[in-house]
Amino acid sequence: MSAAPIELTPERANHAASLLNDGRLLITGGVNESVTLDSALTYDPAGPRKLKATGNMTGVRSNHTSTTLPDGKVLLTGGELSDGSLLKSSELYDPVAGTFTAISKAMSIPRSKHTATLLPDGKVLLVGGKSADLYDPATQTYTQTTGTQPTNRKSHSALLLPNGTVLITGGYVGKLAATTAEIYNPATQSFTATAFPMVIPRANHAMTLMADGRVLVTGGYSGTSPHDEVDIYDPATQKFTATTPMLYHRSNHRSVLLPDGRVLAIGGTTLESGFMFINEAFDPATATWSPHDVMVQNRSGHTANTMGDGTIFVAGGVTGSTTLQSAEVVDPVTHAFSLVSNMSSGRNQHTDTLLADGTVLLAAGSTDAAALKTAEIFNPTTNSFTPVGSLSEARKSHTATRLQSNLVLIAGGKTADRDTRSAEIYDPSTQQFRTIAPMKVRRSLFTATLINDGRVLMSAGRHGGTPTVHAELFNPVTETFAATGDLITQRKRHRASLLADGTVLVSGGASLSNDQQPNSGTPHCETWDPATGLWTSTQDMNVGRTEHESTFLPDGTVVISGGLTLPNNTDIYQPGVRAFTQGGDLNAERYRHEAVYLSNPAWGPLQGQILIIGGATVSTGIFGGIAQALDSVEIYDPVTKLFSSFGTMQVARQNFTATLLNDGRILCAGGVSRPSVSNTAEIVSP
């Protein structure tokens, strides 16, 4: 889960970041389009979500190192200037005074794109170039290591091993990425080649010490393309062994160890010079990679530091040719979606109804073009599906409404050759469907809203290829339908929400016939009054929407999210003034998604927020411009009006169902994946 962006001023890449002993983070130097920087910033995870300027460095530098020393000061070494000149200078940051002081003694050689490793005795090993230096904080001096010298390399990685030695891998040796690795022994101040090289050459890769003492080596460059290959180094044998490749090729990324023992790969550059915002995690127990979260901004050449509260602060970097002026917080406590047993049938444009006993009725829908008569029950105790009695008519794009009697009203929809008037009742006690008197109007792609007196309002929808203005009411006592006032605007694929005063808000929808273009949604909204049966216009939404979502909140407002024409902003309906205000922007444009209000206390601090799940976006020419299903999930905080990444589903889905179960879990079932109708289902737990 990645939080909303935090301003990083000035923008920067190739900077350095170190966690201070007081829990703050220090960010120093770097470069942007116009200048190499001497500025420094601090971030306090316990304070306001903002970066604070601290004293400037004694000089500008980028591609330098930053190391927090045992006494709390921070050592900054080397780097380069705007003209590419390498630096021998270094300086110390005092976090108490907030000031930088130059170290009078210079390194033995200039260095950039080198590594700095804090050793157990408090000294710092600097590797990069034809020799290595040891910095002694007691004397603030550098001395060259006295034993065997290291390979002359840059853009490599270095990591302190549990036995106190240092592993150095890859990098550029001359102009070529190397497979070589070596071990530095502080006792002899010598570098010795490992018994075996890496499986492939790498530079600008990442290394992470795992909980079992082995080292995960990921990605990097050799030649012109990033790698997805992964090695595991075993210190006992000094051998590198290939393991499962990453889901994505990456270089210039960052990796951190998560509290649960997994390794998170963050951002980076991928194939064809693309930049990554999807992070992924490696599970050493199963040797598998899985999507973890989606950052607000794709980035490469950034920093990523684990803070004391367990969150990961990701700052700066580049995307394309632009240096980023943002930072964001990645929360590793993501809520993973896990697959459950498959449904008895693939379903698309079906309905889901939470029943009184906590089970879920999934009814009808379609597989490809064929409408279904079948239905099934999901049992949350066993996470399994069981077929139940067949509907009287095959249908999709219908409605299903749980009545106050706990019976379920199934109405309308598309059949094989028409929109239908037919309706039926599902009885959970018998698990059977029975036909009742039909609706007054044939319709599909409409809304059904249970109102406070127990009746159900059927509004608008498609009648043939044309949207309708007709509305009608279902009476559960007589099990019959009666007309009520017509809507002001004809519409289909709209949404409806019951408001706190008992009226019904209908929003957006496609108002044109199938043969009229563009048909991307109307901004018009209106409310229906059960006392009069009449409709009244509200203020229009900020944008036209169809196939969006409408979520009622306890404060009486309604959050309208997504829809065609793919707006990523939100509209918030204010019932007191019958008008809309703008909310925050979705991380991803989407329609045909699901929005679930997290009402269950099991969600803890996330209770009261809205989960925005899956959906579709209009694809590129690769998919022929058709709707491409999404697997991304984000969460909306009504207090801040901001969206942040929540994670990813196991299966990309559009036109699926998402049901909040009584125990707080959410069942996501069926829908169209890429490109077929899915029979899979998955659950996310609070």
| CA atoms of 251 and 204, how far apart (whole Å) | 6
Determine the Cα angle at 393 with ends 392 and 396, to 5°. Answer: 135
- Asked if 460 and 468 count as a contact pair (C-beta separation under 8 A), the reply is yes
Q: Using alpha carbons, select from 321, 314, 306, 244 the residue that is nearest to residue 279.
A: 314
363, 371 contact by CB (below 8 A): no
Contact status, residue 525 vs residue 506, Cβ threshold 8 Å:
yes
Judged on CB neighbours under 10 Å (0-12, 13-18, 19+), 175 is exposed
Using an 8 Å Cβ cutoff, are 113 and 155 in contact? yes
Residues in the chain, pLDDT under 50: 620-625
Stretch (H or E) spanning 644: strand 642-653
- Give the integer Cα–Cα distance in Å for 507 and 562: 12
How many CB atoms within 10 Å of residue 88? 15
Q: How far is CA 473 from CA 257, 281, 480, 483, 531, in A?
A: 57, 51, 8, 6, 13
Strand partners, 181: 169
How far apart are the C-alpha atoms of 580 and 559, rounded to whole Å? 9
Look at the alpha carbons of 287, 291, 292, 296 in this order and tell me if their dihedral is positive or negative: positive
pLDDT of residue 293: 74
Candidates 3.30.360.10, 2.120.10.80, 3.30.70.260, 2.70.70.10; correct CATH number of 6-334?
2.120.10.80
Provide CB contacts within 8 A for 362, sequence distance 6+: 343, 347, 350, 351, 352, 375, 376, 377, 378, 385, 657, 669, 670
Domain extent listing, the chain: 6-334
What pTM value is reported for the model?
Answer: 0.60
**Which uninterrupted H or E stretch holds 169?**
strand 166-169
Write phi, then psi, for 621 (nearest 5 degrees). Answer: -60, -20
